[in-house]
Amino acid sequence: MLSGIDIEVSGPDGDQLLTTGENGGFLLQVGQEGEYVLRLVEDTLPEGVTATNAELTFKAALAANDTIQFTPRAVNFGLQGTVEGAAVGVGSNLFLQSTVSGLRLGLLLALAAVGLSLIYGTTGLSSFSHAEQVTLGGMVAFMMVNWWGLPFLLAAVLTVLVCGFTGYIQHVILWKPLRRKGLGLVQLMIVTIGLSLAMQYMFQVLVGAGTVRVIREAPTPVTFGGVRLTDQSLWAMGIAVIVLTAVGFALLRTRLGRATRAVSDNPALAEASGIDVDKVVRLVWIIATALAGLAGIMLALVLNGIKWDSGMQILLLLFAAVTLGGLGTAFGALIGAIVIGLVVELTPVFGLPGDLKYAMALLILILLLLVRPQGLLGKAARVG
């Protein structure tokens, strides 16, 4: 923790200059809602420490209290270097730490991306509202724990069920009738955009525009091998691995899983071979939304809270993961998600501005599409 570092704060209140205290943190008094920019005064950094990302922006939403406790962590500002032989923050292990963070992000993305990919594969639909299904997971868990006082684990299980149920409802009242009606894929895609917009603002109406935390207690940090993670992150990663393994196993080994892949491969042929395509698609919607809900709960834990646009923030990463892996192949989506997670978290390590970490993932997606349009695992489509 570095003390005595000056940080300029500018925001709707005007500018103020703050200095980090003994514990490396400082208290920021916020008088107005809006966007605040924290700029590290690099001259005040100790010798040998550089900041790759000297400016941070955050949106302050006024809650009950109007002060914000803020500890500038080394990774926030992309601090690199050593002071008197000791690493700054996690400096010396930055690469390892970021790799683990990338893996964590990748696994959580994978939970949502596999579902998105299954939906695309079986119905051809690029569902923009899938991101809001992720947010929904976090929001429902928040309501259950904080409004109704349920214990977290019970709330988590119930949330996944509720989210899966929303998938079922959507399939029954929206997607199935619309396909029957003969709506084209572009039309359906725009319906998902409308749904996504409606859901985002519904979250705002219900819980406000600020970040809400599912669990209020501070997480316990765990350190092993020089990597610091919270216990919540560890749990999240563990559960993600288990769930993804289960999904993968189901796709490969169960009859229904094989049927799902057959439908993805060629719906007309699957239908002709006596597979109940409607049943498969219904199941895919339930599983996909349940997985997205699970991803949302975990995202809320790992990112210390969830916000109405948390899902939208990762939507493009999900699309990137699905496309990278090859549109409509579930295992491709898994690999794509891990790659995207790593790219996002490792971008600052290689000296690029931290603000560009999401942009970098998208850039890689575009470049890959140019070289290999069918994605990493997809097969080339037959022309004509």
Partner 1 sequence: MTIPESPTEVVHQDDSIEPDTPDVEAERRQRRRRSLIVTAGVLVLFAIMWFIATSTSGSVANIFASVIRAAVEPQTAAVAIAVIGLNIHFGFTGLLNIGQAGFMLLGAYGFAISLSRGLPLPVAILLGIATAAVFALLLGIPTLKLRGDYLAIVTISAAEILRYVGRLSQLTSWTGGSQGLPGSEYRDPFVALSFFPEGNTTIGPLSYQNTGVNGWWIRVVAWVLVLICTAFVFLLVRSPWGRLLRGIREDEDAIRSLGKNVFAVKMQALVIGGVLGALGGMIFVLPSSVQADSMGRAMTFFIWTALLLGGAATIFGPVLGTILFFAVRILIRGVTSEVVPASILNTQQSDQFSWVVVGIALMLLVIFRPQGILGNKRELQFNA
Partner 2 sequence: MPETTTQSRSGRTDNPLADPAARRALVDGIDPVPGVSKPDPILRVDNVVRKFGGMTAVNVDHLEVQRGIITALIGPNGAGKTTFFNLITGFDKPSSAPSLFNRPEKPAAWSFNGQPLSNTSASAVSKAGMVRTFQLTKSLNRMTVMENMLLGARGQTGENLLTCWLKPTWASQEREIEEKAKELLARFKLLRKKDDYAGSLSGGQRKLLEMARALMTDPTMIMLDEPMAGVNPALTQSLLGHIQSLRDEGMTVLFVEHDMHMVRHISDWVVVMAEGKIIAEGRADVVMSDTAVIDAYLGAHHDTDLSDDSLLEDLPGSQEMLHEAELYQAEIADERAHRDAPAAGKEETP
Query: Which residues contribute to the site for partner 1 (CB under 8 A)?
Result: 10, 35, 37, 39, 53-55, 57, 121, 124, 126, 178, 181, 183-187, 190-191, 193-202, 204-205, 209, 264-268, 312, 316, 319-320, 323, 327-328, 353, 355-356, 358-359, 362-363, 365-366, 369-370, 373, 381-382, 384
Cβ proximity to partner 2: between 19 and 273 the closer is: 273
Minimum gap (Å) between residue 228 Cβ and partner 2? 41
The C-alpha atoms of residue 128 and residue 12 are separated, in whole angstroms, by 33
Distance in Å, CB of 206 to partner 1, minimum: 9
**370 binds partner 2 per the rule CB under 8 A:** no
Q: Does 213 bind partner 2 (CB under 8 A)?
A: no
Q: Which CB sits closer to partner 1, 197 or 256?
A: 197
Specify burial of residue 193 (Cβ count, 10 A radius: 0-12, 13-18, 19+): middle
Stretch that binds partner 2, among 107-115, 132-140, 182-190, 265-273 (CB under 8 A): 265-273
Asked whether 161 and 287 are in contact (CB, 8 A), the reply is no
The one among 85, 205, 274, 370 contacting partner 2 by CB under 8 A: 274
Per residue in 56-89, is it b (16+ CB within 10 Å) or e — as a string? beeebeeeeeeeeebebebbbbbbbbeeeeebbb
Indicate which single residue of 266, 350, 366, 367 sits in contact with partner 2 (rule: CB under 8 A): 266
Regarding 272 and contact with partner 2 (CB under 8 A), the answer is: yes
- With respect to partner 1, which residue has the nearer C-beta, 207 or 297? 207
| Number of alpha carbons in the 13 Å side-chain half-sphere of residue 231 | 5
Pick 241 or 367: Cβ nearer partner 1? 367
137 interacts with, out of partner 1, partner 2, none, CB within 5 to 8 A per kind: none
Q: What is the CA radius of gyration of the chain?
A: 22
Please list, in sequence order, all residues whose beta carbon lies within 8 angstroms of the beta carbon of residue 166, skipping any fewer than 6 positions away.
133, 136, 289
Partner from partner 2, partner 1, none binding residue 181, C-beta < 5-8 Å depending on class: partner 1
Beta bridge partners of 56: 38
Residue 323: which of partner 1, partner 2, none does it interact with, CB under 5 to 8 A by kind?
A: partner 1
**Binding partner of residue 107 among partner 1, partner 2, none, CB under 5 to 8 Å per kind?**
none
Q: Are 340 and 324 in contact, with CB atoms under 8 Å apart?
A: yes
Q: Of partner 1, partner 2, none, which one does residue 227 interact with (CB within 5 to 8 Å by kind)?
A: none
- Rounded Cα distance, 329 and 59, in Å: 37
Distance CA 24, CA 246 (A): 43
Residue 312 touches which member of partner 1, partner 2, none, C-beta under 5-8 Å by kind:
partner 1
Segment interacting with partner 2 (CB under 8 A) among 123-131, 153-161, 266-274, 351-359: 266-274
Which CB, 151 or 384, lies closer to partner 2?
Answer: 384
Decide if 60 contacts 68 (C-beta within 8 A): yes
φ, ψ of residue 191 to 5 degrees: the values are -60, -40
| 275 touching partner 2, by CB under 8 A | yes
Options 261, 282, 307, 357; binder of partner 2; rule CB under 8 A: 261
Contact residues for partner 2 (CB under 8 A)? 258-259, 261-262, 265-266, 268-270, 272-275, 382-384
